[in-house]
Amino acid sequence: MGDTTAHPTWALRAHAACEWVLWVVTMNALWWVFTLAGAVVFGMAPATIAAATLTRRQLRGEKVRALPEFAAAWRREFLRANGVLLPLILVGSALGATASTSLSLGENGLATASIAAGIVVAAVVHIVVPMYVSYELPLGAYLTTAMRWGAANLPHVFVALAGTVLVVGSSLALPGIIPFLSVGAIVVIDTALGCAFFHANERALAEAP
C-alpha cells in the first residue's frame, strides 16, 4: 500500500523537476538570443527582466507562452530595464576588469577592494531584478529601495548570492553547461528567492501588531 501511494508522489516530483529544468533551458536560450539582439550591452538588461517577469508568472502557476511573451516583455521593458540595470552592469564589469588587471600586476589591495565592491554591486542586482518584476516603483527608486532592503535583510542577500555561487561553481566544474543552463539558472533562482523573500516580508509586516 505504501509503495502504491509513494510512487505517484515521486513521479509528480520528478515531472515537476523536469519541467523546471526545461524552463531554465528555455529562459537561458531566450536570454542569449535577446541579449545578442540588443548588441549585448543594451540587450542584457531587458533580457534579464523579461526572464524574471516570465519566471515570476510561472511560479504563480500562470500559463506562459515563452517566446512571444519574452519578446513582448523585452520590447516593453527595453528602456526602463536599461535605465535601472545598465549602470549596475557597467560598474560591475569595470570592477571585474579592474580586479583582474590588479591581480595580474600584483596590486592585491586594489584587487581586494574591487572584488569587495563588485560583490556589493552583485548583491544589489540580485535584489533589484526580482524587485523590478514584483513592484511598480519610480525608475530612480529601485536602486535606493534595493539598497535599504538589502541592508535590513542581509541573510536573504547572502542566500541569493550563495545561489549564484553554486551555479557559477557548477559551471566552472562542468563548462559544457554554461551555454545551456548557467544564466537561466541564475535568473530563475534569483527570481524565485527574491519573490519568496518579498512575500515573506509583506506577510510579516501584515501580521505585525
Q: Could you list the pLDDT tens digit for every one of the 209 residues in the chain?
A: 445 455 568 877 887 889 999 999 999 999 999 999 999 999 999 999 999 999 999 999 999 999 999 999 999 999 999 999 999 999 999 999 999 999 999 999 999 999 999 999 999 999 999 999 999 999 999 999 999 999 999 999 999 999 999 999 999 999 999 999 999 999 999 999 999 999 998 888 788 76
Cell of 63: 500559463
Asked whether the beta carbons of 45 and 75 are under 8 A apart, the reply is: no
- What per-residue confidence (pLDDT) applies to 207? 81
Classify residue 106 by burial, with Cβ atoms within 10 Å: 0-12, 13-18, 19+: exposed
Number of neighbouring beta carbons within 10 Å of residue 30: 22
Q: Which residue bears the cell 536599461? A: 82
- What per-residue confidence (pLDDT) applies to 205? 79
For the chain, percent helix, then strand, then coil, each to nearest 5?
A: 90, 0, 10
- Compute the C-alpha angle 136/84/135, nearest 5°: 15
